[in-house]
Amino acid sequence: MVLVVGPSGVGKDTLIAGAQKAFRQDERYVFVRRIVTREADVEAEDHDSMGRADFEAAEARGQFALSWQAHGLRYALPLSAATDVVLGRVVVANVSRHSVAPALEKFPRCRVVQINAEIGLRAERLAARGREPRDQIAARLARDVVPLPDAARPIMLDNSGSIANGVASFVLALRTIAAQIEQK
């Protein structure tokens, strides 16, 4: 299980999409769509939407590999993600920092990739999305970052450069993780 974390605007979805394209012929890699309790939005990040009541019922039935709450929404990874981990695949998911501690308990070999970018660039990216006014962007940028647990030992990637360089760095990190899995 590879958890991709980082503040808004660092390009997590962009790097994941680039890696997914790079590994489209390699069955060892699985890129998981999150389930989120909000309406699907073509402009928003890639996710499957579910109403809160349906989400809570699915969670009670044990249909999620991992679930968490952040920013007033509920998030989950489908149970198929846990199956893929058991089968030895590299499962890549964009998650909140709030999910890292429970994921480390559930998936002992879990790895964390923390994406960062310069704050000015993050502000530009968030403004370019056109989803929220400048005051909300400023609040998002000023939001306190939840610290990762010490056990996370994240792989740190800076995505302040070109998309191509960011994707290449991320793909290299995933290949390194896959090689470590194969050695064990």
Q: Is 8 labelled as part of a ligand binding site?
A: yes
Q: Is 7 labelled as part of a ligand binding site?
A: yes
Q: Is 6 labelled as part of a ligand binding site?
A: yes
pLDDT exceeding 70 applies to what percent of the chain? 95
Q: Is 106 labelled as part of a ligand binding site?
A: no
Q: Is 49 labelled as part of a ligand binding site?
A: no
Contact in structure between 31 and 171 (CB atoms under 8 Å): no
Q: Domains of the chain: which residue ranges?
A: 2-32+79-177
pLDDT at 42: 43
Per residue in 50-94, pLDDT tens? 999 999 999 999 999 999 998 788 999 999 999 999 999 999 999
Residue 93's Cβ-count burial label (10 Å; 0-12, 13-18, 19+) is buried
Single-letter code of the amino acid located at 38: R
pLDDT at 114: 96
Per residue in 166-176, pLDDT tens? 999 999 999 99
Q: Is 18 labelled as part of a ligand binding site?
A: no
Per residue in 136-163, pLDDT tens? 888 888 886 778 988 899 999 999 999 9
Q: Is the pLDDT of residue 25 over 90?
A: yes
* Fold designation for 2-32+79-177: Rossmann fold (3.40.50)
pLDDT at 133: 87
pLDDT at 102: 94
DSSP structure class, residue 10: S
pLDDT at 142: 86
Model pTM?
Answer: 0.89
Buried b (16+ CB within 10 A) or exposed e, 51-79: eeeebeebeeeeebbbbbeeeeebbbbbe
